Amino acid sequence: MRVIIKADYQQCSKWAADYVSYKINRSHPNSTHPFVLGLPTGSTPLGMYQELITQNKQGKVSFEHVATFNMDEYIGLPPEHPQSYHYFMKENFFKHINIQAKNIHLLNGMTRDYEKECNDYEAAIRKLGGVDLFIGGIGTDGHIAFNEPGSSLSSRTRIKTLRYDTIKSNARFFNGDITKVPHTTLTVGIGTIMDAAEVMIMATGRNKAEAIKHGIEGSISHMWPISILQMHQHGIIVCDEEAASMLAADTIKYFKEIENHAS
Ligand code: PGA
């Protein structure tokens, strides 16, 4: 696992965006072989999206042959709902870049047939040859996508009921009104994420420190879903000093030294 520790949110966002651009450019995608990105919502990736928009406008990266699969969507929120992830992605990323609408994939939270929707999503990923780079955030409890603690570490795309802490945390996006937060979601599974050729997890702020500690120094456990990244051949954690603040001093020194030697 690579662990990139940067000073602050802005530096993490820049590092992540540079890495995404580098991977896209290096793969020379075309219409038959697009570069496939897995994408998150939430506050963590916003800075990365802004930087990617800038780089796209500057001609440093093109999304013309990039296909995307978002991690999750609330059940019962239509795409035009301001808190739906369809809306989030359109407003914060897609409408600002040269991506083709046909290449954008999000789970449909308005479907009546959850099982079919989830199976079709997995099939669509497979049809494009799998995800090249899955980007995610983490919850304070170590969840990735909406795979809460206790989720099967080999889970696939499915319906998930959120735990109270996540609902409470996400109420900040619903004017603080907990009753407005949907309790169920469709989410890719941990196995779906782990199938990607590469997985990059971003974490910033002191409230992510415990999850980062368990993810990097703890044992693999379904109680801290992030810890499964230890089993990935190409896992990267990008975090700021605050999110790294519960790691042992030796751990921080070790990963910083490796990166210094690499650059
Ligand atoms: P955040 O959410 O980026 O808004 O902190 C991350 C998550 O819950 O996965």
Catalytic residue among 86, 105, 143, 214: 143
**Tell me, what's the pLDDT at 261?**
84
Report whether residue 147 contacts ligand 1, using a CB cutoff of 6 Å.
Answer: no
Report whether residue 42 contacts ligand 1, using a CB cutoff of 6 Å.
Answer: yes
For the segment 180-186, the average pLDDT, to the nearest whole number, is 95
Q: Which residues lie closer than 8 Å to 64 by C-beta, 6 or more apart?
A: 98, 99, 100
pLDDT band at residue 165, thresholds of 50, 70 and 90?
A: confident
148 as an active site residue: the answer is: yes
143 as an active site residue: the answer is: yes
Q: What is the pLDDT of residues 72-127, one digit of tens each?
A: 999 999 999 999 999 999 999 999 999 999 999 999 999 999 999 999 999 999 99
**Tell me, what's the pLDDT at 183?**
95
Q: Which residues lie closer than 8 Å to 109 by C-beta, 6 or more apart?
A: 73, 74, 75, 76, 77, 78, 84, 182, 185, 186
Q: Measure 241 CA to ligand 1 centroid, in angstroms.
A: 17
CA distance to 53, 105, 149, per residue, from 110 (Å) = 29, 14, 25
Tokens representing 129? 């040859």
For the chain, the average pLDDT equals 97
Report whether residue 138 contacts ligand 1, using a CB cutoff of 6 Å.
Answer: yes
For the segment 166-188, the average pLDDT, to the nearest whole number, is 93
| Contact in structure between 38 and 232 (CB atoms under 8 Å) | no
Q: What is the pTM of this model?
A: 0.96
- Ligand 1 atom at shortest distance from the alpha carbon of 145: 9
Residue 187's DSSP bridge partners are 72, 158
Q: Measure 139 CA to ligand 1 centroid, in angstroms.
A: 5
